[in-house]
Amino acid sequence: MTIQTSDSPYLVGQLLVAMPGMPDPRFAKSVIYICAHNDDGAMGLVINQPLIDLTFPDLLDQLNLKQTDPGAQISIQFGGPVEQGRGFVLHSPDYLHESTLVVDGEVALTGTVDILQAIADGSGPRARILALGYAGWGPGQLDHEILENGWLTVEADPGLVFETGLEQKWEGALTKLGIDLSLLSEEAGHA
């Protein structure tokens, strides 16, 4: 288990909120939880774009895992365009495994099938988001995109990450910043 700290100039544990004029349609109105950010780049998971054509039982079947708790469910989301066949579970820290990355005191990340089996057995984390793929940036790339007005940053909180509905996360993140959506321009630029 690895524990990161968020007392650095990096955006670990923060949310990226796409500006209205986001030029990349894959990230339009997206909210991304930043799991890792350092001099080598950044990695995050989109937390508000569902995958419609894949269900949790389908995924368990593909991985030859058994579901022993019929009530255990988790929606599957588009985590980003990188390695879309790879799954990650962003979750509350009440489930910890040797491969779990504790991002901060309220959010952890696990990328092994053990967590999927735990969820299927009803012993997984209380709060959870399953994402296929991730968003990744090379050295300095994310910083550049923020300076070019592609993203806003906002402090993450478990309510916004895990409890707010997918359709409301983008507006909820902007509201948390105190931004009136009607005042945001779709044109990038600097004053």
Mean pLDDT, range 166-173, rounded to an integer = 92
Q: Is the pLDDT of residue 28 over 60?
A: yes
Residue 119 pLDDT level (bands cut at 50, 70, 90): very high
The pLDDT assigned to 105 comes to 86
Domains of the chain: 8-183 (3.40.1740.10)
Q: What are phi and psi of 115, to 5 degrees?
A: -70, -35
Q: Is the pLDDT of residue 129 over 70?
A: yes
Is the separation of the CB atoms in 83 and 40 below 8 Å?
A: no
Tell me the per-residue pLDDT of 147-164, one tens digit each, with 9 for 90 and over: 988 999 999 999 999 999
pTM of the model: 0.89
CA 174, 44, 71 angle in degrees (round to 5)?
Answer: 90
